[in-house]
Amino acid sequence: MDGTLMNIEIAAICDAATANGTGGRLNILGAFDRAFPQKFPFMIPQCAAAFRIRYLRSEAGTHKLTLAIEDVCGHPIVPVMESNIPFEPVATGLDTAALNLVLNMQRLQIARPDKYIVRLIVDEEEIATLPLYILEDPRTKQASAPSQDGEVRN
């Protein structure tokens, strides 16, 4: 895919998303990039990765899309998702088209506090990355930290 001009117009991790058709509407609910669970391991019951990809007439056709969610060392935390996706021909009179892509995830397991990366790869070329910070709640640390007089405040 050398020389591609594909452009990511929207990229989000969210609570839910829906899309209707090529160039149609992409609906995103509750975009987020961090969570502060009370304990680990932690499970996100339902979330989605939503993307809107703008492409040129010359880029229409089937492309291999890969979505990976990794820790900062590059280890996948879920199986890498791969699929061949058709990028529909650009309509007459238009220069570009857009593809809406929603990948729903159920019961996403997070073993430990860390920064995670969501990677979207098209034809072996990374075109989008999103950070996902799943960290210990800083308020919990403050609440359990001893005061200067040695007392633990709740």
| Count of residues making up the chain | 154
Closest CA to 65 of 15, 116, 14, 1: 1
Structural domains in the chain plus CATH codes: 7-144 (2.60.40.10)
**Chain segment 1-19, per-residue pLDDT in tens:** 444 579 999 999 999 999 9
Residue 6's identity, in one-letter code, is M
Closest CA to 37 of 115, 113, 141: 113
**Chain segment 6-58, per-residue pLDDT in tens:** 999 999 999 999 998 666 899 999 999 999 998 999 999 999 999 999 999 99
CA distance from start to end of the chain:
56
pLDDT value for 145: 53
CA distance 50 to 58: 24
Contact at 8 Å (CB) between 67 and 132?
no
**Chain segment 60-118, per-residue pLDDT in tens:** 999 999 999 999 999 999 999 999 999 999 999 999 999 999 999 999 999 999 999 99
Rounded to the nearest 10°, the torsion over CA 53, 57, 61, 62 is -20
